[in-house]
Every structure is written in structure tokens, then in C-alpha cells.
Structure 1
Amino acid sequence: MTYEIAAPEPGGMVASLSSLGYSLPAAIADLVDNSISAGARNIDVEFTWHGRDSWIAVVDDGRGMTEKELVTAMTVAARPLTPRAPTDLGRFGVGLKSASFSQARQLTVATATEGVWNVRTWDLDVVEESGEWRLLHGADSETTTLLERICRSPVKGTVVLWRKLNGYHVDDVTEDDERTQSQFYGEARRTESHLGMVFARFLSGARRRNLRIAGEPVEPWDPFLAGHPSVQRLPVEEIPVGVNSVRVEAFILPSSQQLTGNDYGSAGGPSGWLDQQGFYVYRLNRLILAGSWLGLRGMRREEKFNLARIAVDISAETDAEWGVDVRKSSVVPPVGLRPHLRRIAQRARAQAADVLRHRGQIAARTHGDPLLYAWKVRRADNRVTCRINRSHPLVAAALRSGGGSPENVRALLRLLEETVPVTALRVMHETDTSDDPEPFEGRGDANAEATEIAQRIYEAMISDGRSPTAARERLRVMPPFDQIQGFWSG
């Protein structure tokens, strides 16, 4: 067959790569992927405001690239010179270019392996004007001055520098434009939150990376609050997918009453509680998707499922089966796996809703109609207390003068037996604090109330035929008086 070479026109190709829909945080995350894959231990993201000449750079101390490797890395959709390593966070070989072109008109990469620095530049204005893929050797004088300033190591590493930033490199943006400057540094804060979520597993542990923005460490964000004692974990499942497997673990987070105000706000994540519920898909420990029900039938975001979060770990070999996109921000689970994910999600959602429902019951018990509950359970000052509700009709009747008939007392005792607030105590109790209810407010010595009650028990035993000595001996071992000093001196 005859044919024609229909090579893509550079200007149109640039426009296509620039419109893939990267957010700024997602684009920078793609650059950090490359740094981690290059073995970097220290990665710095720099945001510097200079009006229309503002710039962003990612600097690492990884193994760097030779000149040939650099040219390959800068070539759009080039075949890698060597097969991808199993730990390579890359996907299609276009991340550096597509992420950069979505944010800037000028991309410069400077890299060194053994103290020899190589520099190449893409200037999209040059590409469009020439109609050719002209990869420039070196950089212009202003860019060279910036590179000299921000290079950390004289021996090895890589600097990716964005200039002519989209939305900022325009004539009406000046250096004293406070509104636009605030927007620029607001993007830096959003990037910090995003990177802390995406690379959380790389920012902790024995081999953690040091990732900084403007010199400040990026703190990892754990969506599962795995270290909190009140988190419920469902059993881990290893589900086969072809010759590989997928690891799935569901977590039910504590409710707001079990977290401090700061912890509750932080646990909501960058997007807030509603948007952060659901599945979290990790590829090689890098978060691909944060908070989604993966389009599973009937699985919608609802407030009552806010506490359900599920970790899914997939291998790089299953990229195709999961439909991982260029931006590494979207996945579609394999058809054979969906029933298993749905089953796990249904269980997690049910337990999350149950926690909130019990919390609602506790709120009703605490703030609702005083005539409804025979027991009153409270948590205040890190102490749980449990009291019989003296406003309850049956309790009030038993306490009224002449109202303590045997029938009323028997009915009250049976009611108290049947309504012991086990659920309320379990939900309200914190396993990591010493909040167990203590008799008579935890006093170690006798007070008037404890003494009066002990006296009445003592008199009741005397009336029942025990000697004073036997009655005192019985009180001595009777809870809670066995823990209170002051009854046994006489």
C-alpha cells in the first residue's frame, strides 16, 4: 500500500499537550515522581514571585541524567533508552513535557551525573514560530542566572525550571500586584497539601524523602488515621487480578467527638470530608486517586459515609487493566474486581453509617428530652460519667415520698437492668485515655455523699441481722468503698 507521513504539526501538538487538564499541584506531582524515580532523597519545590517573570522550580539530588538521557527525556513520547525499573513512577514517558507545557511556555532542565551539567530548553514560542521541534541547547542568560542560583549540588541532581507561567506571564501582571501575588502563593499552599497527600508514604518511615516547598517540609497526610486507637480496620484482602493481585484494606475513621478540633479539621483532607470518602488507589505507594467510589453502581457520596475510606494497592503491571491515565489521576477498576470492591465498600459504608448513627443517639441522649432515658452518660473534662436519670418518670416516682412501693421499685430495677448504656459507654469511651467512670468523682477519701450511702448500707445490714462487726467487714470489701479511705478507722 502507498502511504503518507502525517507527522503532527508542532503548534497543534503543543496545544494538545497543554490542554490535558493538569492542575498546578498535579503537574508538580508529576515532576516529583521523576525525582523519586531518580533516587532523590531531597526534593525542593520553589515558588518565586516576580510579577510576569515569576517562576517555579523542582530541584533534586537524584542520580541525574547524561546528555543522551536528557535529550530522550525532553523528547515528546520518546521510547526510553532503558526499560523502566519496577519502581519507576512514570507511566507513558510524557509526564515531564505534558505537565510542564500545561503550566508554562518555557521548560528548562539542567542535570548532572558526575559533575558535568547538561542543559536543554523547550520554548513554546520558538516551536510555534518555527513550526519545528527545536530543543534548545543551554538556556538564555536570565534562565542561566536562575539555574546558578538554585542548583544545590555541584556533582549530581536535576533542576526543572518553569518560566513564562500560564496566567502570570502577561503584560498587565506587575510585581506589585498584591492580588495576583496572593493567588500565586495560594497555589503553593494547595500544592503543599496535594503533595503531602499523594506522597505521604514516601514522607515517613526509615527511607523517607525530604520534600520541601519554599524550604518548609511537606507534612504527610494519612487519610486513614492509621495511628489513632479509635480507627476500625476491616480485614485486609488480597484479590487476584490475572497473574497479579490487589491489596484492599478498609478503615472506619473516628467520629468528630473522638477527635480534637484540629485533628478533625486535618482528617477532612484537602477537599473536605464529603469529597475524601471512598477508595484511595495507590500505585507503587504513590496515590493515584483520592476519595472516589470508582463509579460502582449505587455508590454515591453521602454525609453518612464520610468515615469510610478504603486503601487499594495496585502494581505497575496492571496499569492497563486499571486504565491509569496520563495524569495519573484517574482509574477504572477491572470488571472482574468490581464485585469484590463493591462488597468491601458496602460493608465499610454500613459500619461508617453505624458509627454516625450511634453518635447521633449519644447526642440525643446528651441533649435530648430528659424524660426518655433512664441513664445519663456524659463526657466532660476527659472523664466519662454514668448516672441514673432522676428526671425519668419511674425514677421520680420511686423517689417521691410514699412513692417507693415495691411494684415501682421492682419496675425501676428491671428498667435499669434492661437499659444499661453499654453502646453509649463504648462509643464515648476513648481507649487511649484514662476516662473510665470512677465512683464519687474519683475521690480517694470519704466525702459526705459516700459516707451517707455507706451508712445506709451498714444500717440495712444491721437490720437484716448482721452484727456491727460483720457489717463493717462486709463494707470493707464492698465496691466502691473498698477503694475509699475513711470508713475503717472506727
Structure 2
Amino acid sequence: MVDSNALASHWREDVPVAGSSHLPPDVGYAKALTNQGYSFDVAVADLVDNSIDAGADLVAVHFLRSADRLHTLLVLDNGQGMNERDLDLAMTVGRRRDYGSSALGMYGTGLKAASLSHAGALTVISRTKSSRPAGRKLTSEGIEDNFRCDTVDKDFAQEQIDVYDGVIGFQGTIVRWDRVNAFETVAPGETDAFLAKATQSLERHLGLHLHRFLARGLKLDIVVTDVDTGEETQHDGVESLDPFGYKIPGRKGYPRELTAEVEGVGQVALEAHIWVAKSRLAGYAQIGSPIQRQGFYFYRNDRLVQAGGWNNLRTPESHLNLARIEVDLPAQANRVFSLDVKKEGVQVMPAFTFGVESACDAEGRTFRHYLADAEAAYRDGNSRQVVERPAIVAPGKGFDPKVKRSVREQLAVKAAEDPIRIEWTALPEDRFFELDREHNAIHLNKAFREDFNGGRRGGANDAPVTKTLLYLLLQDCFGLGRWEKKRADRIDYWNAILLSAVLAQRERLERSTS
């Protein structure tokens, strides 16, 4: 046991040292670098953070595919770009650069760790207004070879900048992942299904964690392009997904600002919100389970870094599903709040929870009053009857993101069914549309595409009104077992009538322009 006399005589506040030596990382560090638990969505979000820090107001997450497989992921931006020296510094493993007080980056490992957690090769190509395109490439094998970084061929760098000139313009950066782990596990024939789920999840994650930037005008797109044809097969603009985006609060007088006195930090503002019970709005219903999303929402420099959770203050309970608290972390580093390297969770010291428990607003209403109000709103809401709407198969590829979000706000969707995609394709001239029930697809006759796009070819999510009306008519034809003759006949006469309508529209357009 402890010798109390010796402890009292020899204990010191700090451990003394007698010298030092420099111990560079072993190449085995590469395994730790590439195994930090980044999810796919979190890793991509880290790359978008870098784009925002570079001053970009246009960012595109770009999937490259062919008919039966996925090849590459790119994140493109029109930020300030990097010259050769900047690229070397950015690709140096373990280097931590100086971050401004408003930067989203913190530790200097995100680009490498997030990328190499999911890809065997990371390439960065960039140019500034005063420098030519240049690039660097890191591979998992190169890191194990004494942290080797390869220089990208200058002609190839220029070619890539030219290809994506529509995003990059005079300056900007391309981050490219090759040999992506998830892509290499997608079996032939499953590419569409994988992309539907991956892009939907990514859109939701980026829309939530970057919602303040998106609301202020950041343009962030998710694009899929076929490398064989050059055709853009999907183009979705990420919309702000505000976890406090209700129109009417669930309790009169909210939101309320409570102030917590936190030892070591000072005053911390808590913006206490109460949602309406059973809300179908995207900010409540489409960001995950309500029981997981109750609690604290921590922001660092306007970037959401924790979306729900009580941080050991209490355990989640269904009667607090409507309670969400907005907290902007103090700008100065301190020992009370600690952000993890992936920027998806905050560790807090007991000083914070003690401060929250005694927090109150200007009227003297306490944190306990707030919890009681949230519980009352939940009970009152559950006592009201709500008309149950039937669950449907969700819209997917080919539908505008606003349409997809609105459907999910208004109706429950069948989680076990793949979303319905809608696409223009070659069909017989006597058909306006056809159903592919086996693959959950609606095919539109591409001979009529320009008629719905003002004489232009249109994009991946074009003709939103026509597509949405067809979806509402046809969605109950999917997710069925037996195909009834009566339903098949209905599809036939709808098709004939709609074909007559589109031909009449074409004739009117021709007469008006002749």
C-alpha cells in the first residue's frame, strides 16, 4: 500500500525531466492514420470544411461511375487554391497548420485521415490566381514507404482543372479519392441502389451539419456522372436542414435564452427550443430518431459538431423528444469543451453540466422549468389525434431535392423499399411512360424531353412538376406483390391520355412559334 509519510515528502506538482530526444513516427503510424473511425459522410464533410476554410462559395461532391461500377469520388471547390509549397504542407502527415479563429479545421489531420480511411489513394490538384495547376498524391503504400508523397504530372493537373472549370474557375481545388473501399464492395447491378442510399445519406448529413452556411448562400451540390458517356445522371443541390427550423414552437414563449455560469469559461448561452409534437418538418423528422436527436446541439464557428445528446446530464427519454438546445462553443480554447477529431461529438467537463443545472433566463425561469415545458408539450401533442396517412415508396433519383424533402415531410415512407427513380429513356413512340417495377423505376419517353424544358435538353432533375405528378399517380404501383389486371389497365389508359396531352402541347407550341 501507499507509504503516507513518503508520499507527503516526495510528491511534486509536476514531474521533473533530465533531458529529451526527438522520436519521429514509425511507418506503422499509417495504420493508425487510416483507422480513425470516420464514417463516409463524416469524412466527406471534413473535406467540405476545408473548402469553406479556403473561402469557397461553390462546392461539388462528384461521384464518377460507369454502367456497372463506381470509380472515383471528387470534392471540387472555387476557394483560394494552393501553390506547390502549400500542397506540400497540406499533404505532410502530422503537420498542424495555423488556423484562424473562425476556421473549421482544428488538428491538421482531417484531409489525410478522413481520405485514407476510405480510399487507397488521395490526390489533391489545385491552382491559385497566380500559380499554375499542380498536384500531389498520397497512397496507403506510399505512407508505409517512409511517408512518400508523389508529384502529379503537370499536364494531367492542367487537364483536370480544365475539365472542372465550371466549378473552379480562376482558382480552386480538386480532392480526389481512388480505390474507394465502399465502391469496391458494390456488386455489378447494385450501383444504382448504392448511389441512391449513399447520396441521400450524404445530402442529409451535409445539410444538417452545414445548415448555417447553406442558409447564408453556400452552394453545395452532389453530382453523379457516367465516365463512358460524359452524361450527368444525377445532380442534387444540398438544402439547409435546420434542426431548429420550425415555423411555430411547440410551447408559447419559446425559444428562450438561458444563461449558464460555467467554471473556467464564464457565461454560456443556451438557446432552449421546443418542437411541435409529431412534426413532419424535415428539421425534426428527417435527421434521425427523435430520441437520439433530443438534447444539445453544439456549434463551433457556425458548424454543427454535435447533433443531440445530453452529455451525461441525463439519459434520453421519449417525453423529451421535443427538447433541443442550441449552444455556440466559446471561441477561446478551454478545458471544459473538447471536440473530437472527426467533429461529430463534444466531450464536456462536469463544470458544464453543473452550470446547465443552475441555468436560468432573464425572467428567472430555470432549466428545470424548460424540461417541464418540453414534457408538457410532448404529452399534449400525443393526446391530439392526427390523421394517419398511408406509407409510400419514397421518390429517388431524378426528382428535385425539394420534392423529395416535401414528400418525406408530408408522408411516411416505406423504409424497406428502394426509392423510385424517374429517368428519360428511349421508348416506343406510342408510349409516354413505362414502369419498371422490378427496379423501382419510371421511364419517360426522351423524345418528349425538350417539350418539358423549353426546347432545351434539361438536367438530371428537370421537369419537376411533370415528374412529381407522375410520381403521385404511380407510386402505389410499386412495392406490391401481385400485379392486378385492373391496375395494369389503368396504367394503359393513363398512358394513352397523357400521350395525347403531350402531343397537344407540342402542337400548340409549334403553332405559336410558326
Matched-pair contact (CA < 8 Å) for 2:96–2:109: no
Q: How far is 1:301 from its partner?
A: 1.4
267-276 or 30-39: which moved more?
267-276
For 1:213, what is the secondary structure of its paired residue?
strand
322-331 or 353-362: which moved more?
353-362
Which of 189, 205, 208 aligns to 1:197? It is 208
For 1:287, what is the secondary structure of its paired residue?
strand
Q: How far is 1:68 from its partner?
A: 1.3
Aligned pairs for 1:309-458 (under 5 A) are 309-318=324-333, 320-343=335-358, 346-363=368-385
Which of 236, 244, 258 aligns to 2:257? It is 236
Matched-pair contact (CA < 8 Å) for 1:284–1:315: no
* Map of 1:150 onto structure 2: 164
* Map of 1:135 onto structure 2: 149
Please tell me the residue identity of whatever aligns with 2:353.
R
Q: How far is 1:133 from its partner?
A: 1.0
Matched-pair contact (CA < 8 Å) for 1:116–1:155: no
Which of 183, 193, 213 aligns to 2:222? It is 213
In structure 1, how many angstroms separate the alpha carbons of the residues matched to 2:45 and 2:322? Answer: 27
* Map of 2:270 onto structure 1: 248
225-234 or 179-188: which moved more?
225-234
Matched-pair contact (CA < 8 Å) for 1:277–1:291: yes
Which of 200, 216, 222 aligns to 2:242? It is 222
Matched-pair contact (CA < 8 Å) for 1:202–1:209: yes
* Map of 2:38 onto structure 1: 22
Matched-pair contact (CA < 8 Å) for 2:336–2:349: yes
Q: How far is 1:146 from its partner?
A: 5.4
Matched-pair contact (CA < 8 Å) for 1:121–1:139: no
In structure 1, how many angstroms separate the alpha carbons of the residues matched to 2:238 and 2:49? Answer: 15
Q: How far is 1:244 from its partner?
A: 5.8
Q: How far is 1:324 from its partner?
A: 0.8
In structure 1, how many angstroms separate the alpha carbons of the residues matched to 2:157 and 2:29? Answer: 25
Please tell me the residue identity of whatever aligns with 1:222.
D
- Any idea what the Cα deviations from partners look like across 1:249-278, whole Å, max 9, x if unmatched? 11011112xx4xx42x65223212121111
In structure 2, how many angstroms separate the alpha carbons of the residues matched to 1:308 and 1:229? Answer: 11
Change beyond 3 A, Cα 1:9–1:292: same
In structure 1, how many angstroms separate the alpha carbons of the residues matched to 2:382 and 2:168? Answer: 57
In structure 2, how many angstroms separate the alpha carbons of the residues matched to 1:164 and 1:145? Answer: 21
In structure 1, how many angstroms separate the alpha carbons of the residues matched to 2:246 and 2:205? Answer: 19
Unaligned runs of 5+ in 1: 365-490
Matched-pair contact (CA < 8 Å) for 1:127–1:134: yes
Please tell me the residue identity of whatever aligns with 1:95.
G
Matched-pair contact (CA < 8 Å) for 2:73–2:176: yes
In structure 2, how many angstroms separate the alpha carbons of the residues matched to 1:22 and 1:137? Answer: 27
- Any idea what the Cα deviations from partners look like across 1:103-130, whole Å, max 9, x if unmatched? 11111111111152121110213333xx
CA RMSD of aligned residues (A): 2.7
299-308 or 1-10: which moved more?
1-10
Q: How far is 1:95 from its partner?
A: 0.9
Matched-pair contact (CA < 8 Å) for 1:17–1:102: yes
Matched-pair contact (CA < 8 Å) for 1:59–1:158: yes
- Any idea what the Cα deviations from partners look like across 1:127-166, whole Å, max 9, x if unmatched? 33xx211111115998886564334334211111111101
In structure 2, how many angstroms separate the alpha carbons of the residues matched to 1:96 and 1:5? Answer: 25
50-59 or 302-311: which moved more?
50-59
Change beyond 3 A, Cα 1:139–1:181: farther
* Map of 1:300 onto structure 2: 315
Matched-pair contact (CA < 8 Å) for 2:211–2:240: yes
- When the two structures are superposed, what TM-score results if normalisation uses the length of structure 2? 0.62
For 1:288, what is the secondary structure of its paired residue?
strand
Matched-pair contact (CA < 8 Å) for 1:71–1:120: yes
Percent identical across equivalent pairs?
A: 31
Please tell me the residue identity of whatever aligns with 1:47.
F
For 1:282, what is the secondary structure of its paired residue?
strand
* Map of 2:501 onto structure 1: none
- When the two structures are superposed, what TM-score results if normalisation uses the length of structure 1? 0.65
Please tell me the residue identity of whatever aligns with 1:290.
A
Which of 251, 274, 281 aligns to 2:298? It is 281
Change beyond 3 A, Cα 1:238–1:62: farther
Change beyond 3 A, Cα 1:67–1:315: farther
* Map of 1:69 onto structure 2: 86
Q: How far is 1:46 from its partner?
A: 1.0
Say if 2:24 is the partner of 1:7: yes
Matched-pair contact (CA < 8 Å) for 2:243–2:283: no
Q: How far is 1:246 from its partner?
A: 2.5
In structure 2, how many angstroms separate the alpha carbons of the residues matched to 1:276 and 1:230? Answer: 16
How many residues get paired?
Answer: 346
In structure 2, how many angstroms separate the alpha carbons of the residues matched to 1:43 and 1:319? Answer: 32
* Map of 1:109 onto structure 2: 124
Matched-pair contact (CA < 8 Å) for 2:298–2:326: yes
Change beyond 3 A, Cα 1:92–1:244: farther
Change beyond 3 A, Cα 1:234–1:267: closer
Matched-pair contact (CA < 8 Å) for 2:134–2:157: no
Matched-pair contact (CA < 8 Å) for 1:95–1:326: yes
Change beyond 3 A, Cα 1:181–1:59: same
Change beyond 3 A, Cα 1:293–1:351: same
In structure 2, how many angstroms separate the alpha carbons of the residues matched to 1:319 and 1:201? Answer: 24
For 1:249, what is the secondary structure of its paired residue?
strand
Change beyond 3 A, Cα 1:315–1:111: farther
In structure 2, how many angstroms separate the alpha carbons of the residues matched to 1:321 and 1:91? Answer: 17
* Map of 1:367 onto structure 2: none
For 1:48, what is the secondary structure of its paired residue?
strand
93-102 or 335-344: which moved more?
335-344
